[in-house]
A and B are shown apart, each in its own frame.
Chain A
Amino acid sequence: MSEPAVSTIDVNGFATRVWRKGTGPRLGFLAGYGGLPRWVPFLDRLAQSRTVIVPSLPGFPGGDRGHTVLDSHLDWVLAARDVIDKAGLAGADLVGSSIGGSFAAEVAAIWPDKVARLALIAPFGLFDARDPATDPWAQKQDDIAGLMTAQPDTYKKLKEMPPGANSIEWPIEQTRAAEAAARIFWPLGNTRLERRLPLIKAPTLILWGEHDRLLPRSYARTIAEAITAPTEVRIIAGAGHLAELDKPEETAAAILGFMG
């Protein structure tokens, strides 16, 4: 696994990290809950046949304190569009997971020209009182990893402080990612995304981890039914909420197969 090329873009005055690796047609990825404090095998797998471009979202690792100037959902959606444009992803295929999945769907719905084909991995944005999502913010610190991935060690490894990192700033950056998620989605994760899903024109793949303990699998059906463009729903066996971390090979293969 080699490291990606790193560049920065300006989002509302905050220097925001963009990773780039591989060759072939462009494929964007917007990360999920907790963001990406480090490069992960899932992205390497995608980079085998695509130019993978991974911009950070405001407040998530690599996104500085960009969340602090975003007060409304409109602010967030405009920031996501800015990120897509400045990372050179306009018109490309786009993958979003969890938090990032919600913004991938928003951009595809509101600016259909920005997204060619779309893949959503258990996106935030919905809440069904009959099948409620788990509260990710009312958790004991030790329980979060098990909520995010089927194998808790997968998420723990993602968040583990690497040797040489700043031992004060690293944990603050991880808390900041949880805060940024809360800032958009507190308290129920419900941004009424359902109302905008019918605007999506891109063919859409909806992936869900078989053991997602955070967002119920029934939401996959709701999303598929709301999108009028062609959709496909795939369940990733053995995966939790962040399926791309639990099952990088299977998740990437499903996406690459769909994107063609």
Chain B
Amino acid sequence: MKFLWFHLMPYRELPDDFRDKHPSVWVDIHSALFDPRRAHHMYNEFLDELEHAAACGFDAICCNEHHSNGYGLMPSPNLIATALARRTTDTAICVLGNSLALYNPPTRVAEEFAMIDCISGGRLIAGFPVGTPMDTTFAYGSNPSLLRDRYYEAHDLVLRAWTEKDTFAFNGRFNQQRYVNIWPRPIQEPHPPIWIPGAGSVETWRWAAEMDYVFCYLSYYGYKMAQSVMKGFWEEMARLGKDRNPYRAGFAQVVGVAESRQQALDLYTRPAEYFYGRCLHVDPRFASPPGYVTEATQRAGIESQVKMAAEGKSQSGPSANAPSAQKMQSLARDMKGIVDNGYVVVGSPDEVVEQLRELATTLNVGQLMLLMQFGNMSTDVVKYNTRLFAEKVMPKLRPLFSEWENRWWPRPMEREERASLPAFTPAASAAE
């Protein structure tokens, strides 16, 4: 089993009355709430936390891309990944990822990922999300009706840019370049492993399977609510004749571990309530720009509602087919609801081990992404959570799925071939 430590980089000082006074954490969140001098400390502590996770022995550290977002301060995850590449040695660096359709030309992604792969000695995992509606269509003004076609085309362009040896012309529907020839080029052959964050879209599952990529379900709502999505994913894999290799799938889970369950609740209630209460407070008018959800996925969603209604069942929890901001409208915001609904895994090390074992086996997921900083959690608590997990939880789960080969993991240069990173010594008065 692989353990990936995932940071969203939330702004930690949204006011207590944020939900009452402000319509949205995303898209039109007010600039007055952002203090760049406080953000200076946050960014540096966030980077410390990621480096700490690497030092504790996590297999990978992860960052992702959001725009105009109070809970995601990484418009450019590649900047963060580069900083991490210089401060870590063996940990994989997972960028989940670059929203391909937003880059013009998309070869920019091929170039920057190649740079990170070179700097890190081949430790990059390349994530290619479509991107949320808030990020892509509203914050970046990308056309929702063209977004997916642009995404697929940009993917094809990046892949060719990485793999073709000679300069070529790309004659696409949306992108035309006479000379595609990226310098630098990635270390990993034929290219870094590609992971696709997504949700309940059958089309995405099929495409990931066809391309032999990892599918990552980045839910904030815990593994109990993810059962139907991952069941659908594995049924689709079976239909396509793919094996049940658990490393085909990734899942994100919010986790808080402490010496005892009570201590965990004491430590993690405030950050969890901050995360679900303030960070996931998104104006519903940004939920569903027309065209973002494909007609096939709309159809599947309506059919499943009709089926459930006919069977007299009601939907438990947010529908996987619903866009992310729509799901956020019906969330539990208090710790009891957060825990009872299973959004967060909290408890003593043994309790966390048991819950994550259940997660891994029921979802059949081998690439486990852990959100161990959430909400306004202080950096001390983040480091405590991370170290305790690494010492008491990780070793017990590590042997899971050892019978399977993880074909989707970076293949870096041999350690002795890689550049040694000198210990950081601040140059005296360099900035003065």
Contact = CB atoms under 8 A, between A and B. Distances in A.
Interface in A47-70: 65, 67
A182 B144 contact: yes
Interface string A162-191: 000001100110011011111100110000
Contacts of B269: none
Contacts of B146: 71, 183
Interface stretch (B10-18, B57-65, B297-305): B297-305
A183 B143 contact: yes
A168 B145 contact: no
Interface stretch (A5-13, A38-46, A92-100, A136-144): A136-144
Interface string B411-422: 000000000000
B290 A172 contact: no
B291 A179 contact: yes
Contacts, number: 63
Contacts of A137: 137, 144, 289-290
A75 to B, nearest CB: 11
Nearest to A142: B284
B173 A71 contact: yes
A180 B302 CA distance: 20
Contacts of B295: 65, 172, 175-176
A167 B305 CA distance: 11
Interface in B135-188: 137-138, 141, 143-146, 173-174
Contact of B298 (A67, A175, A180): A175
B307 to A, nearest CB: 11
Contacts of A171: 298, 302
Interface in B57-101: none
B303 A168 contact: yes
Interface residues of A, number: 23
Contact of A186 (B144, B286, B303, B306): B144
Contact of A183 (B27, B173, B291, B303): B291
A65 B294 CA distance: 12
Interface in B261-308: 284-286, 288-291, 295, 298-299, 302-303, 306
A143 B283 CA distance: 13
A192 B145 CA distance: 20
Main secondary structure of the interface of A (DSSP, over half): helix
Contacts of A65: 295
B295 to A, nearest CB: 6
B289 A138 contact: yes
B331 to A, nearest CB: 17
Contact of B138 (A71, A138, A167, A178): A138
Interface string A104-142: 000000000000000000000000000000000111110
Given A137-B290, A138-B286, A168 B144 contact: no
A182 B284 CA distance: 18
Contacts of A141: 288
B144 A172 contact: no
A182 B173 contact: no
B298 A172 contact: yes
B174 A71 contact: yes
17 contacts: A137-B144, A137-B289, A137-B290, A139-B285, A140-B284, A140-B285, A168-B299, A172-B299, A172-B302, A175-B290, A176-B290, A178-B290, A179-B291, A180-B145, A182-B144, A182-B291, A183-B146
Given A172-B299, A182-B144, 9 more contacts: A137-B137, A140-B284, A143-B285, A179-B144, A180-B145, A182-B145, A182-B289, A186-B141, A186-B143
Interface of A: 65, 67, 71, 137-141, 143, 167-168, 171-172, 175-176, 178-183, 186-187
